[in-house]
Amino acid sequence: MTSRISLEGRTAVVTGAGAGLGRSEALALAARGANVVVNDMGPAAEEVAGEIRALGGDAVAVVGDVGDWSMGDRLVQTAVESFGSLDILVNNAGVLRDKMVFNLTESDWDDVIRVHLKGHAAVTRAAAVHWRAASKAAGGPVYGRVINTSSEAFLFGSPGQPNYSAAKAGITALTLSTAQGLSRYGVRANAICPRARTGMTAHVFGDGAGADGGLDILAPERVGTFVAHLASPAAEGINGQVFVVYGDMVALMAAPTVERKFTAAGGVFTPEELDSQLTPYFEGRDPYRTYAAFSVAELDTTGVENTAASR
């Protein structure tokens, strides 16, 4: 394995790594040579850590909820004490509480925002403290990679997932802020919007087994391979980006653009002038022509029905 894609000697923290995407990401990082701190809420964390060790890698489990702010410090401390460093953070942990906005309860909102958005922030903050101090001690940039888990739900505004969509939009913004704030220290931060067949998405996708009996088109291992690339030295030039990744493709998202600028003729809008400029512009507009990126759905050539946005 070339040094550009090898993770030999690196240490990674992966949250929500007891199953599904997180497990595949942890295994993919370990396969490239990384030591892995496996985090999840229950005994599955130790099971995955044991799986990595059985394959010849090195891993430790930390059981706990990333929605607790202190968990970030605990995970970073475990990485440093167990393996001597922290080089890679994969924020993946999440929960679903799918409801239409008129059925949304306070706990539905709080649970999703706490685990997804607060969980990402808690571990990112702790990792940032570590890398900033390490960079100052070294007198220059250090090695740091953050891979955050956003979702197409934030691109579409999934109607049955207002809490999840909002959390994923926040995670994307957090990623951009992290990329700008930590780049001087050598850290690269990017977000992925993955699709994968996992226990969390069992209700979402139809059968997608390969026609030749090969790898499922929505196998989480496909996403794990890309995450391992973003974690590698080869990804040094990739920062502040958002990728949609599943099946046989990785799609790089472009930043939003300005569609039309409306300017007040006299420097200050009157209600009448706003009416004269904006009303005719939006008359007859396609209801799907909004800020939502519905065109992203055209990327899907898997042939597997997607009945809801997924992580």
SS (H, E, C) the chain: CCCCCCCCCCEEEECCCCCHHHHHHHHHHHHCCCEEEEEECCCHHHHHHHHHHHCCCCEEEEECCCCCCHHHHHHHHHHHHHHCCCCEEEECCCCCCCCCHHHCCHHHHHHHHHHHHHHHHHHHHHHHHHHHHHHHHHCCCCCEEEEEECCHHHHHCCCCCHHHHHHHHHHHHHHHHHHHHHHHHCEEEEEEEECCCCHHHCCCECCCCCCCCCCCCCCHHHHHHHHHHHCCHHHCCCCCCEEEEECCEEEECCCCCCCCCCCCCCCCCCHHHHHHHHHHHHCCCCCCCCCCCHHHHHHCCCCCCECCCCC
d(CA 12, CA 3): 17
What are the φ and ψ backbone dihedral angles of 108, each rounded to 5 degrees?
-60, -45
Q: Which of 151, 158, 165, 232 is catalytic?
A: 151
> Is 185 an active-site residue?
no
Structure tokens at 71: 């968990």
Residue 205 pairs in a beta bridge with: 306
> Is 118 an active-site residue?
no
Residue 149 pairs in a beta bridge with: 192
Q: Which of 143, 164, 185, 246 is catalytic?
A: 164
Q: Which of 168, 185, 232, 310 is catalytic?
A: 168
> Is 177 an active-site residue?
no
> Where in the sequence numbering do the catalytic residues fall?
151, 164, 168
